[in-house]
Structure 1
Amino acid sequence: MSDEQRQTEQPRVVIVGAGMAGVQTAVVLRESGHRGPVTLIGAEAHPPYDRPPLSKAVLLGTAEGSAFDIDFAALGVDLRLGVDATGVRPQAREVDTAAGPVPYDVLVIACGAEPIVLPGTEDVAGVHTLRTLDDAERLRPVLARQHEVVVVGAGWIGAEFATAAREAGCVVTVVEAADRPLAGVLPAEVATPMADWYAESGAELLTGTRVTGVEPGTVILADGRQLPAGAVVVGIGARPATGWLAGSGIALGSDGAIAADERLRASAPGVYAVGDCASFPSARYGERLLVHHWDNALQGPRTVAAQIVGESERVYDPVPYFWSEQFGRFVQYAGHHAAADTLVWRGDPATAAWSVVWLRDGVAVALLAVGRPRDLTQGRKLIEAGAALDPELVADPALPLKKAVR
């Protein structure tokens, strides 16, 4: 059988989304031996790039970009950039785009997430989000001019941007509606000590404070205060970028994410979903997870590619992992602590290095490490193994975490 015959017998794969999840899907498909046509559609005109450097090196001007070092032509991938996907017609097996319909045999949706916009600020000059390379490029001169900057939201992206802005010499005020940073993702006893990091860096953190309006040069708070702002950066979360799927019949959850199954299959035949746009059921944690982090976009494509090439019926049930660099600290998290019944401290949060471990019925389910990468490495393996730990041994920060196994 000729190469041409083999290629025509293998399905046409169309991937919508040229971020980490989409690019990794294309790469792993080729590594797995898929010889059929692969089309990668990206809404941005830039060559596909990695996002984590945007809030660090790209924003501060120490790097010009973070494009993936991939020769798509050599890989045999038809890369179509600057093309918006506008709909899917599963019965016809076509993706509608601004450039016309694109037929597929297998569709992989990897369209990512989009930032939540602060209501009423859509058309206000000087209000920014930080999600794309263009966003970072617009913000670079803002930092270079050392403006007074107001950051709305003390989540991961707010903290990372505040860190970069302080490094650039800006006057930074962070406004958070909750009573502490990271209120939506970490319990109070863990997140509250992190509030001190802002003051240490020279940033002002206003908690329990809501923004009621933004005018050019000014942020208006609910208590009547007005903050001078050469720029406003909004970091109040992101939602799956799935609005274009309306009317397709592809099932979405109440969170707007594509409701994929344990093999990352969407509800329509021949359609998969991976990365920030998709939720999946986790047997490990007993609930459906929506993970907006880089490692999920890196790992999920392996499951999708395995299904497409027919090599595996592997189930996708990872231990979620992410990291954040903020205020001179390297913060790492592995697992999912929602159902934990015990939290164990390792070290003093007033110091530069500490961690916490969450247990459920004595079994490790999650870990947060600040400046303790060894804890993270060992803890992640223990979580994956479902290891039972002795809380008293876990609490000894001088003892390697792997020595705490019962």
Structure 2
Amino acid sequence: MRGPRRVVVVGGGLAGHTAAAALRAEGFDGGLTVLGAEPHPPYDRPPLSKELLAGTVDDTTLQADLRADLDVDLRLRCRALRLRAGTVESTEGVHPYDAVILATGSSPIGLGGTSRAVHALRTVADARRLRAALRDGASVAVVGAGWIGNEVATRAAALDRKVTVIDAAPAPLARALPGAVGEQLVPWYAEQGIDLRLNTPVTGLDDHGVSLAGGGRVDADIVVTGIGARPDTGWLRGSGVPLAPDGAVDADATLRTGPGPVYAAGDIVRWPSRLFGGRIRVEHWDHAAASAQTAARNVLGRDEPYDPVPYFWSDQLGHRLQYVGHHDGAERLVLRGHPSDSWTALWVSGRRLRAALAADNPRDVRDARRLIAGRLPLSVEHAADPAVRLTDAAD
């Protein structure tokens, strides 16, 4: 077939695995190399803070075996060092390519300290280490009331551990959502027996807990940090690949970036969305898989624009949260329902729905996706009424 004869995929996570599988599914029969920095074959990350941490599963390896099933040269413990025209330099040597897909994901933001009591949660090794610690530790301090921090706190509370969640922000999920939405979660912590400390900056971590601004302290056997992640793209500096201020790779609508036949997928990519306007970046499972499939097809000459309606879900403190769309730049926030029951936050610009976050309300998410994808005009007054189905609020 026409097109590249050698493709290198940099990144051994979901996006990298999906890109390799998609290339083969589309008929690519040339040389295909996947470089993964971890010692494990590609695996699913969302279960790390869910089923694997809970002990209900121990292996989240993705189903297709890249070596046996897809004839991929899979290099583990192989970290990319620099990108040059036609080659990727790694800790194992030089890998020539006709096209390359960048899918290196994100790395957790650390708080410093080397105590064995302090844990982050990004890899399967992290999850297994934390799971073992939770068997013995009686008390847990979670620094960061974000998506991962709340999932860890939920699992620890289910094990009857004493759990404290600490965040410098005035509301949970403050790095992802407006305070008016995060505040809806506050009662959930008490329902799970979790002590929530907001407006509480952390100044230090050690073997016995967390030091707080103002001289306070939370003693704990286990400390888990979950204050966000940043794109793992430092190795691309000086390569000619354009990087945004946060380290994201800037790509065009086909996920191509420069120079040459270079594409990006997953957590690291920022692309122009006609649906939402401007450049957007998403860090969730659904996008990692979908963007990798599009990048793979475009490597083979499809030139398909990538413009999905982003979606993700998370179990938070005994409740299922589902999000669809992209709310940055929305003009108005509308809360639908009551915090004591199922509820939905709607982000609206003019008469168009841009995003929705639903708590224990899957029908609203399905309806919101349809409204966003169809760019359907909305009666905001009707949409705010939980007795009115969202699709019935469309004009």
State TM-score, norm by structure 2. 0.97
- Return the match for 2:79 from 65, 68, 84: 84
Q: Once the 2 structures are TM-superposed, how far is the Cα of residue 10 of structure 1 from its aligned partner?
A: 4.1
Listed as ranges, the matches of 1:179-258 within 5 Å are 179-258=170-249
Whole-angstrom CA distance in 2 between matches of 1:308 and 1:227: 51
Count of residue pairs the alignment pairs up: 394
Gaps of at least 5 residues in structure 2 are: none
- Return the match for 1:359 from 348, 353, 357: 348
Whole-angstrom CA distance in 2 between matches of 1:242 and 1:111: 7
Whole-angstrom CA distance in 1 between matches of 2:295 and 2:132: 40
Q: Once the 2 structures are TM-superposed, how far is the Cα of residue 14 of structure 1 from its aligned partner?
A: 0.4
- Asked if the contact 2:4/2:98 (under 8 Å) is kept, the reply is no
Whole-angstrom CA distance in 1 between matches of 2:115 and 2:269: 31
Q: Which residue of 2 aligns with 1:323?
A: 313
- Asked if the contact 1:325/1:331 (under 8 Å) is kept, the reply is yes
Q: Which residue of 2 aligns with 1:388?
A: 377
Listed as ranges, the matches of 1:147-166 within 5 Å are 147-166=138-157
Q: How much is the aligned-residue C-alpha RMSD, in angstroms?
A: 1.4
Q: Once the 2 structures are TM-superposed, how far is the Cα of residue 329 of structure 1 from its aligned partner?
A: 0.7
One-letter amino acid of the structure 2 residue matched with residue 12 of structure 1: R
Listed as ranges, the matches of 1:109-120 within 5 Å are 109-118=102-111, 120=112
1:277-318 deviations in Å (ceiling 9; x for gaps): 1111222222211211111101102221221222x2211122
- Asked if the contact 1:146/1:168 (under 8 Å) is kept, the reply is no
Q: Once the 2 structures are TM-superposed, how far is the Cα of residue 216 of structure 1 from its aligned partner?
A: 1.4
Whole-angstrom CA distance in 2 between matches of 1:364 and 1:246: 37
1:230-249 deviations in Å (ceiling 9; x for gaps): 11111000000011223322
One-letter amino acid of the structure 2 residue matched with residue 272 of structure 1: Y
Deviates more, 1:68-77 or 1:96-105: 68-77
State TM-score, norm by structure 1. 0.94
Q: Which residue of 1 aligns with 2:298?
A: 307
One-letter amino acid of the structure 2 residue matched with residue 319 of structure 1: V
1:236-287 deviations in Å (ceiling 9; x for gaps): 0000001122332222111111111111111210111111111112222222
- Asked if the contact 1:259/1:278 (under 8 Å) is kept, the reply is yes
One-letter amino acid of the structure 2 residue matched with residue 17 of structure 1: G
1:135-177 deviations in Å (ceiling 9; x for gaps): 0011011111143111111011111111111112211111100
Gaps of at least 5 residues in structure 1 are: 1-5
Q: Once the 2 structures are TM-superposed, how far is the Cα of residue 178 of structure 1 from its aligned partner?
A: 0.6
Whole-angstrom CA distance in 1 between matches of 2:58 and 2:71: 27
Q: Once the 2 structures are TM-superposed, how far is the Cα of residue 40 of structure 1 from its aligned partner?
A: 1.1
Deviates more, 1:174-183 or 1:211-220: 211-220
Go from structure 1 to structure 2 and tell me whether the alpha carbon gap of 1:305 and 1:232 turns closer, same or farther (over 3 Å shift): same
Q: Secondary structure at the match of 2:270?
A: strand
- Return the match for 1:52 from 40, 43, 46: 46
Q: Which residue of 2 aligns with 1:3?
A: none
1:362-393 deviations in Å (ceiling 9; x for gaps): 11110011111111011112101111111222
Q: Which residue of 2 aligns with 1:398?
A: 387
Q: Which residue of 1 aligns with 2:263?
A: 272
Q: Once the 2 structures are TM-superposed, how far is the Cα of residue 189 of structure 1 from its aligned partner?
A: 1.7
